[in-house]
C-alpha cells in the first residue's frame, strides 16, 4: 500500500485522471480499484462512516495525501456514492488546488465551481465559503480582477453571517481578507494592500497558521519592493522564508528565493541573485507550476542582462515569455517583453527594442482593462474608501513616458540618416500622439463620469438614509433600499465599461437612482417614465449613464427649494427616422430662481455632470451621420410665472 501511494504521487494528474475515469466506468470491483484497497480504503470507509462536517476534521485525516489527485478522485467518487457531500466537496476543492498549482486554471475552476454547487446542496456554509475563496484565487491568478473581487466579497459576507465561526471558517475569512489585499496590490494601491495583509498576519498568528503567515509576509514584501522600500522588502521575504522552512514548503521556498533575487538585483547584488536563481530553477521545474517556472526564467534573463551575458539573457527571457503565453499569464508576458526591450536597447539594436516595447504596451493594456475603477472597487469590498491616486494624473504621466520614449526613437532614426525611415518615424509619432490624445480624452471623460455618478456625497447620504431606517428598526425599508442601492452600484459598474447600452438598461438605472434619492426627499417626488408606442427600448442604443446628471439637476436645483407638489416626468419618443427624443420635465422653481437661491447659499454644489455628458454625447455621435442636440427650455404658466424646466435630448440612431 505504501509503495502504491508513493508511486502515484510521482505521477502527473494528466496521466491518472483519464485512467481513473475508465476505472470508474468499469466499476469499483475490478482491476485498479485494488490499488487503493487496504489502508487507504479503510481510512476512506472510516471517514465516510464518521461523516465529519468541517474542513479541519476531514483535513486532519487526508492532509498527507490531499495533493494526490488520484486518491482524491477515489475519495470523491466514494463520498458521492455514499451521499457524503461534505467529503465530496473537500475532494473536489483539493483536486482544484492541485490543478491550480500546475497552472491548469480551466480544470481547476471547473472543480471549484462544482464544489460550490455541492456545498450549497449539502447546506455546508463553511465549505461554501471555502469554495468561493478558491474560485476567487483562480480569477486573481488569471487577472480577472472584477470576478476575483466579487467572489472574495461573497465569501466574506457569507462568513460574517455566522455569530460564532469555527476555526475553519475563521481561516476562510482570513483567506478572503488576504485576497482583498492581493486585489489592492494588483490595483497598485500598496499602502492599502499592506494594511490588509497585516490584518491577516494578526489573525494568522491567533490561529497559529504558519502557511498563512508565509503567504502574507511574501505579499507584504512584494508591496514594499514595488514602493522601492528594498530593505523592508528584504526583511519581509526573509520572514516568509522562515515560515516556509517551518512548514517545509518547496513552493513557498522557490517563490521567496526568486523574490529575494529580484531585490538583490535592485540593490546591485546581481551575482548573488544569479546564484540563488540557478539553484532554485530545477526545484521550480519539478513543482510544475507554470506561473512560477515562467517567473524564474524571466528573472534569470533579467539578472543575466545586468551581468552583460546578453545571449543567455535573451534565451531565458524568450523561454519565460513562451511559457507565460502558453498558459495565458499576461502579466508575465508583458514583463518578459519589457525586459527584452531593455536588453536590445543595451545592445544598441533600437528597432528590436522598440518592437518589444510595443508588445509590452499591448499586453499591459490587456491586463489593465478593469483597473480604471479603483475607487468604486474599494467601496464594493466594504472597506474604508481611500483616495490614493488621481487617475487622470496617472494617465497623463503614462502618456508623457510614452512620448519621451517615442522622442528617443525619433532621435535615433535621425542619426541613422535614412530618409525613408525618418519620414515613417515622424508619421508614426504624429499618428500615435493623435491616438494617445483621443484615448486620454475618452479615459478622462469615463473617469469624470464615474466620479459624477458615484460621488462621495451621494454614497454617504444614501447609506446614511438607509442607516436611519436601521436605527428606527424599519428593517423592511432598510433591506428594500439597500437592495436597490447595491443594484444601482452594480448597474453603474457594468455600464461604465461599455460605450453604449440599451435604452431599457439606462431607464432602469435612473429609476433606481431616483428611488434612492427620493428617500432624502421623504418620498415627495412623483417620478414617472413614459415611452411612446413603437419604440423598442431594447433595440435603441444610447451612451451609458447619460441621463442621471439631468435628473440630479432637476432634483437639486429645481425641486429641492420648492414647496408643495414635486414632479419629474421622463418621456421617450421618436423624432423623425434618425433621432430619439428624451424629455425630462420638472415642475421646479425654474433656472432663474434656482440661480438666485444658489447665490445665497454658503455651500454651493458644483455641477459638472452635464458638461461631461455633453462631451460624451459629442464623442458618441462621431460614429453617426447626425450629431446630438441638447436643449433646456424654461416653462411658464398662464400668469407668466416660472413653472419648471424641460430638458430635451435628441440622440442620433442608426
- Displacement of CA 44 from its chain's centroid (Å): 39
**CB atoms inside a 10 Å sphere around CB 494:** 14
Q: What is the mean pLDDT of each run of 10 residues along the chain (654 residues)?
A: 30 39 37 59 90 90 90 92 93 93 89 94 92 89 79 86 82 82 83 87 86 91 91 92 91 89 90 89 87 90 91 92 86 87 89 86 64 40 41 63 74 76 76 66 52 56 76 82 85 76 90 86 89 90 84 84 88 89 91 75 54 71 70 87 90 78
Q: What is the dihedral of CA 200, 202, 203, 206, to 10 degrees?
A: 160
pLDDT tens by residue, 370-407: 444 433 343 344 344 333 444 555 566 676 777 777 77
Residue 351: strand, helix, or coil: helix
For 420, residues 6+ apart whose C-beta sits below 8 A from its C-beta are none
Q: What is the dihedral of CA 615, 616, 617, 622, to 10 degrees?
A: 90
- In degrees and rounded to multiples of 5, residue 237 shows phi and psi of -65, -40
User: Which residues are registered as beta bridge partners of 500?
Assistant: 543
Strands 642-652 and 629-636: antiparallel
Residue 646: strand, helix, or coil: strand
pLDDT of 391:
52
Residue 228: strand, helix, or coil: coil
pLDDT of 446:
54
Query: 339, exposed or middle or buried, with CB in 10 Å at 0-12, 13-18, 19+?
Result: buried
Closest CA relative to residue 586, chosen from 526, 641, 515: 526
For 307, residues 6+ apart whose C-beta sits below 8 A from its C-beta are 270, 271, 274
∠ Cα 178 123 25 (to 5°): 95
pLDDT of 110:
94
pLDDT of 462:
72
Cell of 385: 474608501
Amino acid at each position: 500500500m505504501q509503495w502504491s501511494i508513493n508511486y502515484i504521487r510521482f505521477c502527473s494528474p494528466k496521466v491518472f485522471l483519464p485512467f481513473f475515469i475508465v476505472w470508474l466506468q468499469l466499476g469499483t470491483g475490478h482491476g485498479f480499484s485494488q490499488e487503493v484497497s487496504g489502508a487507504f480504503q479503510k481510512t476512506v470507509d472510516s471517514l465516510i462512516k464518521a461523516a465529519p462536517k468541517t474542513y479541519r476534521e476531514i483535513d486532519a485525516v487526508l492532509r498527507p495525501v490531499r495533493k494526490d489527485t488520484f486518491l482524491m478522485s477515489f475519495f470523491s467518487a466514494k463520498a458521492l456514492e455514499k451521499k457524503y457531500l461534505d467529503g465530496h466537496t473537500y475532494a473536489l476543492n483539493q483536486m482544484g488546488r492541485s490543478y491550480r498549482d500546475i497552472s491548469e486554471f480551466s480544470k481547476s475552476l471547473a472543480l471549484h465551481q462544482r464544489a460550490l454547487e455541492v456545498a450549497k446542496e449539502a447546506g455546508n456554509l463553511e465549505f461554501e465559503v471555502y469554495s468561493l475563496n478558491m474560485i476567487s484565487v483562480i480569477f486573481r491568478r488569471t487577472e480577472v480582477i472584477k470576478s476575483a473581487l466579487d467572489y472574495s466579497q461573497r465569501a466574506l459576507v457569507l462568513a460574517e453571517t455566522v455569530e460564532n465561526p469555527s476555526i475553519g471558517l475563521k481561516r476562510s475569512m482570513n483567506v478572503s481578507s488576504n485576497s482583498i489585499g492581493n486585489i489592492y496590490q494588483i490595483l497598485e494601491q500598496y499602502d492599502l494592500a499592506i494594511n490588509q495583509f497585516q490584518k491577516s498576519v494578526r489573525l494568522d498568528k491567533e490561529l497559529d497558521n504558519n502557511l498563512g503567515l508565509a503567504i502574507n509576509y511574501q505579499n507584504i514584501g512584494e508591496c514594499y519592493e514595488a514602493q522601492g522600500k528594498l530593505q523592508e522588502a528584504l526583511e519581509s521575504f526573509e520572514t516568509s522564508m522562515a515560515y516556509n522552512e517551518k512548514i517545509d514548503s518547496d513552493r513557498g521556498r522557490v517563490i521567496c528565493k526568486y523574490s529575494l533575487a529580484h531585490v538583490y538585483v535592485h540593490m546591485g547584488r546581481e551575482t548573488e541573485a544569479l546564484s540563488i536563481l540557478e539553484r532554485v530553477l530545477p526545484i521550480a521545474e519539478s513543482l510544475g507550476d507554470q506561473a512560477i517556472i515562467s517567473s524564474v526564467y524571466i528573472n534569470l534573463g533579467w539578472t543575466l542582462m545586468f551581468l552583460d551575458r546578453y545571449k543567455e539573457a535573451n534565451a531565458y527571457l524568450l523561454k519565460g515569455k513562451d511559457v507565460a503565453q502558453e498558459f495565458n499569464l499576461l502579466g508575465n508576458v508583458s514583463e518578459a517583453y519589457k525586459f527584452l526591450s531593455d536588453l536590445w536597447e543595451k545592445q544598441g539594436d533600437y528597432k528590436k527594442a522598440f518592437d518589444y516595447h510595443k508588445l509590452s504596451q499591448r499586453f499591459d493594456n490587456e491586463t489593465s482593462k478593469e483597473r480604471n475603477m479603483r475607487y468604486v472597487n474599494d467601496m464594493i469590498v466594504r472597506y474604508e474608501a481611500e483616495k490614493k491616486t488621481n487617475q487622470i494624473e496617472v494617465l497623463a504621466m503614462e502618456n508623457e513616458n510614452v512620448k519621451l520614449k517615442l522622442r528617443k526613437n525619433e532621435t535615433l532614426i535621425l542619426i541613422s540618416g535614412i530618409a525613408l525611415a525618418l519620414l515613417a518615424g515622424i508619421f508614426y509619432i504624429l499618428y500615435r500622439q493623435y491616438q494617445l490624445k483621443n484615448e486620454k480624452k475618452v479615459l478622462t471623460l469615463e473617469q469624470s463620469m464615474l466620479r459624477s455618478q458615484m460621488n462621495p456625497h451621494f454614497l454617504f447620504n444614501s447609506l446614511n438614509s438607509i442607516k436611519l431606517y436601521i436605527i428606527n428598526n424599519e428593517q423592511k425599508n432598510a433591506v428594500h433600499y439597500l437592495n436597490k442601492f447595491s443594484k444601482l452600484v452594480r448597474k453603474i459598474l457594468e455600464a461604465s465599461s461599455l460605450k453604449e447600452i440599451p435604452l431599457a438598461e439606462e431607464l432602469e438605472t435612473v429609476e433606481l437612482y431616483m428611488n434612492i434619492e427620493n428617500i432624502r426627499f421623504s418620498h415627495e417626488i412623483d417620478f414617472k417614465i413614459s415611452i411612446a408606442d413603437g419604440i423598442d427600448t431594447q433595440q435603441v442604443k444610447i451612451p451609458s449613464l447619460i441621463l442621471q446628471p439631468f435628473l440630479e439637476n432637476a432634483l437639486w436645483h429645481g425641486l429641492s427649494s420648492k414647496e408643495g407638489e414635486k414632479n419629474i416626468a421622463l418621456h421617450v419618443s421618436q423624432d423623425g427616422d434618425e433621432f430619439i427624443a428624451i424629455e425630462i420635465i420638472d415642475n421646479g422653481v425654474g433656472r432663474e430662481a434656482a440661480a438666485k437661491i444658489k447665490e445665497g447659499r454658503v455651500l454651493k454644489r458644483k455641477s459638472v455632470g452635464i458638461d461631461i455628458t455633453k462631451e460624451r454625447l459629442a464623442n458618441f455621435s462621431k460614429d453617426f451621420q447626425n450629431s446630438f442636440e441638447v436643449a433646456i427650455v424654461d416653462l411658464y404658466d398662464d400668469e407668466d410665472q416660472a413653472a419648471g424646466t424641460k430638458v430635451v435630448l435628441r440622440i442620433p440612431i442608426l
